[in-house]
Amino acid sequence: MCAAKKKEEVQVVEAFLRGRMSRRQFLRKASLLGLSTPFISSILAACSSGPSIATTAPSPVVATMVPTAAASLAATSAPTQVAAQAGGTVVLGVTSDVTSLDPAHALANFKNLAITLYDRLVDVSGVSTEVKPSLATSWTISPDAKEYTFQLRKDVKFHDGTPFNAQAVKYTWDRMLDEKHPAHRPPYPYLGFFYSSLAEVQVVDDYTVKFLLKQPDAVFLSQLTWLPASPVSPAALEKYGEKFDENPVGTGPFRFVSWAKDQQLVVERNPDYWAGPPKLERVVIKPVPDEATRVIQLQKGDVDIVTDVSPEFIPFIEADQNLQVQAHPGLHTWWIAINMEEEPFKDKRVRQALNYAVDKEAIIRDVLHGAADPSTGFVWPGTWAYEPNVQVYKHDPDKAKQLLADAGYAEGLSTRFVSPVSGSMMVSPRELATVVQANLREVGVQASIDTIEWTSYLGSLLQGTQPYGLAEMGWGNNTDDPGQYVSLQLTTAFEPPAGYNLSFFSNPQVDDLLNKASTTIKQDERTELYKEAQRIVADEAPWIFMFHAKYVVASRRRVQGLVVGANFNRLGLTTATASSS
């Protein structure tokens, strides 16, 4: 199929699914394009079905989640039974490619590498949000929380056959920390945030390694679950030098085969994997930024698994007997940053007005098909740090108008609203931008939308080359500890270009609370600090608080054994199998 025809197919299906084309227009255009009758029928069935995920009550995220039958959404038509088998290849359709195959350099979509090429000393897996042993078998933390000592597995080798040991762990970190190290090749984008407390890594013996911190860090263990903490082969770093980005060597369940940037990453089963080799022979990870295109490719069999499914397409997927959907409450937050350097948004009343203007409940019901819970802040409902008693912005256009008038904007205001096409942790960004734009227009706020490709989106915002008043953002955490991300988004120290505080929110009290929460070891004290920070942030409204999405993954029924949990940065592929058809 030529690229032009394929693009036209995508545009026609997307226009119909999003209500921009009538049923009759769709049937006529689909016939002219030669789309198959089953394909057309599945789309029509999707648009006649109702919401797919229960919306009666939010599903809280808990520290350890137990999978149930309800975690998988049943298809609306009878499934085609297939026999699972070991071996085979699956194609995984994802929102975007990584910028590098070196875990220390990679930006965005950590999942691509974290589930295939690399392991961490500790990790989260399955449906649990609990930090568990991985390359380390156990660990101890000193009473002052400034020394973390890990006992390492003795049966692990890198993909190049060289041994994994304490020396390899130290080499991995020294090349980032030591500017004079022969393998030091900055920038390391997450070193300053995730690991700013790390001073030194010491080898105790071949299989014992100690991390020395500059100050107590209550979040450090959780931070070691992020992709940049993945050990890499010292021999490979020395062999490939700057080309290690294109020749990655880790300890993960799959080994590197090839990478065509922004086209596909190919990995194959690691037969010597320390936890037992995965059942799949090969995985092809294919970036497909457009949401409708990902779903159409899944339906046609061009891809076998699609992550970060936009909820508007869930009915369409459920209507196809060859497809299946899995969903789980996620450690995810989606918000719209309000740029407080822009004159209107320096006034808290204007920021609160924007929150009252947006109908989040309608968005969750009508656009997200119930695949999210409303957000009131930066902590997930049902987790240990969550504070329910905060300022809540129910949809109230009249109150929004009054606040705008009180702030001197009775005649309204104009701003620029930036949205990515797609991207890591972004849920229906273009669709939601359009709905939010309409909500704001009702109260006199004219928001012109600029849509940017994800590969340029974050960079342009951090570097200050893209002007904006409002900017869509999303984050998926590894554990239920908000300290893993909130300082990066809401403290003065991490205003661009240093971090993702796109609101330029600067509140000394919040800075102090979040700093204390990350350096205080006692959980009950940390809880109170985070709760107080949530109360202030909710009142100050540096964000339009939107929702916490469920992690939705769709696949062809020939794929069995996928594990979907709360962590958007993971997908359980090691237990997956695929039939031949």
pLDDT tens across the length of the chain (581 residues): 455 655 566 667 666 665 666 655 665 566 556 665 555 655 555 454 444 443 323 333 333 222 222 233 332 223 344 444 567 899 999 988 888 999 999 876 677 888 899 999 999 887 777 899 999 999 999 988 899 999 999 999 999 999 999 999 999 999 999 999 999 999 998 898 889 999 999 999 999 999 999 999 999 999 999 999 999 999 999 999 999 999 999 999 999 999 999 999 999 999 999 999 999 999 999 999 888 899 999 999 999 999 888 877 888 898 899 999 998 888 899 999 999 999 999 999 999 999 999 999 999 998 888 889 999 999 999 899 999 999 999 999 999 999 999 999 999 999 999 999 876 677 788 889 999 999 999 999 999 999 998 778 888 998 889 999 999 999 988 899 999 999 999 999 999 998 899 999 999 999 999 999 998 988 999 999 999 999 999 999 999 999 998 888 999 999 999 998 878 778 899 999 999 86
Alpha-carbon span 239 to 197, nearest angstrom: 30
Phi, psi of 491 (to 5 degrees): -110, 155
Residues 6+ apart with CB under 8 A from 333: 375, 378, 380, 474, 475, 477, 548
Q: Which amino acid is at 270?
A: N
pLDDT at 64: 29
Question: Would you call 482 helix, strand, or coil by DSSP?
Answer: helix
> What's the pTM?
0.77
Class of domain 96-280: alpha beta
Closest CA to 401 of 392, 393, 410: 410
Taking the domains of the chain in order of start, what are their residue ranges? 96-280, 332-550
CA-nearest of 488, 531, 380 to 63 is 380
The whole-number pLDDT of residue 50 equals: 43
Q: Are β-strands 372-374 and 445-452 bridged in parallel, bridged antiparallel, or unpaired?
A: unpaired
DSSP assignment of 373-416 equals EE-SSSS-TTSTT----S------HHHHHHHHHHTT-TT-EEEE
CA distance to 324, 358, 435, per residue, from 18 (Å): 21, 20, 12
Question: What does DSSP assign to residue 204?
Answer: E
Pairwise CA distance, residues 167 & 294, whole Å: 42
Q: Provide CB contacts within 8 A for 38, sequence distance 6+.
A: none
Residue 74 and residue 531: Cα distance in Å, rounded?
37
Residue closest to 102 by CA, chosen among 93, 94, 112: 112
What's the pLDDT at 27? 56
8 Å CB contact between 132 and 114: no
- The domain covering 332-550 belongs, at the CATH homologous superfamily level, to Dipeptide-binding Protein; Domain 3 (3.10.105.10)
Q: Which residues pair with 554 in a beta bridge?
A: 306, 325
**Three-state SS annotation for 492-546:** HHHCCCCCCCCCCCCCHHHHHHHHHHHHCCCHHHHHHHHHHHHHHHHHHCCEEEE
Report d(CA 237, CA 66) in Å as an integer: 40
pLDDT value at residue 113: 84
Q: What is the radius of gyration, based on Cα positions, of the chain?
A: 24
Which pairing describes strands 89-94 and 282-287: parallel, antiparallel, or unpaired? parallel
Closest-CA residue to 160 (of 117, 205, 123): 117
Residue 217 is encoded by which pair of tokens?
Answer: 């860090």
